[in-house]
Amino acid sequence: MSFSDYFGAEQVSEGVFHIYEPGGVYTTLILGEEKALLIDTGYGFEDLPAFVRTLTDLPVQVVLTHGHTDHAGGSRLFGEVFINPEDIPVYLWYEKTQKKLIVDKFRRDRAAAGLPDVWPESFNAAAYLAAPPREFKALKNGQIFDLGGRREEIIFLPGHTRGSVMVFDDKTGLLFSGDNISSSLWIFFDHSAPLSQYEAGLKALMGRSFSGILYAHDGFIYPPQIMEELLTTISRVDPETDRVFIHPRTGQRALKHREKSRLDLPHPYIYVVYEPSRM
> Judging by beta carbons within 10 Å of its beta carbon (0-12, 13-18, 19+), is residue 178 exposed, middle or buried?
buried
Q: How many CB atoms lie within 10 A of CB 218?
A: 18
- Which parts of the chain have pLDDT scores under 50? none
pLDDT at 4: 64
CA distance linking residue 59 with residue 67, whole number of Å: 23
pLDDT at 198: 98
Residue ranges covered by each domain of the chain = 3-90+133-176+197-220
Superfamily of domain 3-90+133-176+197-220: Ribonuclease Z/Hydroxyacylglutathione hydrolase-like (3.60.15.10)
pLDDT at 5: 84
Angle between helices 226-235 and 195-205 (to 10 degrees): 150
Pick the closest to residue 275 from 164, 185, 157 (CA basis): 185
pLDDT at 153: 98
Helix (H, G, I), strand (E, B) or coil at 247: coil
